[in-house]
């Protein structure tokens, strides 16, 4: 297993090119393995966010079984190794359990030994480069991870993000992301965006970029009675979407979203 360190350029082993590759991607806010089943659990089970609980790893094992069917996975609300996760890096744990050879985590916020809030990216395909960066906001921590696949003008970039709760801050964040997205021909932007497709901030993102929303009618939150679509996989038009769906996999307060797509033959991915 390989941990892809921040902004590391992996050029020692060049991948064998594959043209017109089918890609299966998944985005999942896993709420650090807490299977919330009703709104009252946010209060009665709040202690699970701070201390270990034996059900956590049973839930994570179920999540790992789901992840086995995908090529690239973006995770939100993981823990990078603290008291509540028995000091186990949950991104690495899921990569190991689901058989992903490459993984990367970005720590968003540290609360001493109690919690290390993070996002995670798992990949069966070796990226050429993985980078992470902070997003604008009053509270330090929110950011993104970007994995680059292929070379030159036909690079595919996959962003994994978790946007802020504040609409004003989200506007700043999507504006910042728009400038980055427009640098690349082929982009997948996925994660928990804390806003719906018709929100002013996502409409602004759609106006500023070529990104589109193939699954705007699907709801992901809360998992026990989904009414809102705040988790998204956005793609640029050249990526042919074959299937997009929400999975009824209730081991978090969010449902995961999945997409199968085909990248253009000009994009060379390695396996």
Q: Domains in the chain, ordered, with CATH?
A: 2-262 (3.60.10.10)
Assess contact for 17 and 2: CB atoms under 8 A. Answer: no
pTM listed for this prediction: 0.88
Q: Is residue 227 classed exposed, middle or buried when 0-12, 13-18 and 19+ CB atoms within 10 A define those classes?
A: exposed
Cis amide linkage into residue 147, ω under 30° from 0 = no
pLDDT-derived band at 11 (thresholds 50, 70, 90) equals very low
pLDDT in tens, 30-58: 999 888 664 544 454 654 555 567 788 99
């Amino acid at each position: 297993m390989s941990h892809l360190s921040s902004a590391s350029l992996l050029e020692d082993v060049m991948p064998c090119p594959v043209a017109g590759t089918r890609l299966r991607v998944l985005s999942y806010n896993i709420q650090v393995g807490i299977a919330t089943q009703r709104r009252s659990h946010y209060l009665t089970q709040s202690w699970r966010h701070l201390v270990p609980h034996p059900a956590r790893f049973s839930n994570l094992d179920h999540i790992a079984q789901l992840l086995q069917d995908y090529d690239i996975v973006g995770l939100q609300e993981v823990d990078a190794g603290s008291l509540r996760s028995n000091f186990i890096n949950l991104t690495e744990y899921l990569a190991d359990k689901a058989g992903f050879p490459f993984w990367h985590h970005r720590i968003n916020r540290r609360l001493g030994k109690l919690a290390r809030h993070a996002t995670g990216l798992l990949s069966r395909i070796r990226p050429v480069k993985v980078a992470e960066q902070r997003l604008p906001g009053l509270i330090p921590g929110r950011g993104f991870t970007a994995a680059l696949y292929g070379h030159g003008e036909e690079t595919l970039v996959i962003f994994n993000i978790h946007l802020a709760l504040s609409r004003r801050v989200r506007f700043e964040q999507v504006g910042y992301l728009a400038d980055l997205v427009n640098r690349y021909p082929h982009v997948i932007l996925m994660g928990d965006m804390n806003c719906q497709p018709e929100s002013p901030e996502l409409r602004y993102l759609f106006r500023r970029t070529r990104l589109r929303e193939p699954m705007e009618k699907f709801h992901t939150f809360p998992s026990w009675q989904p009414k809102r679509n705040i988790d998204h996989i956005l793609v640029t038009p050249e990526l042919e979407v074959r299937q997009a769906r929400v999975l009824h996999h209730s081991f978090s307060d969010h449902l995961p979203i999945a997409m199968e797509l085909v990248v253009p033959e000009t994009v060379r991915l390695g396996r």
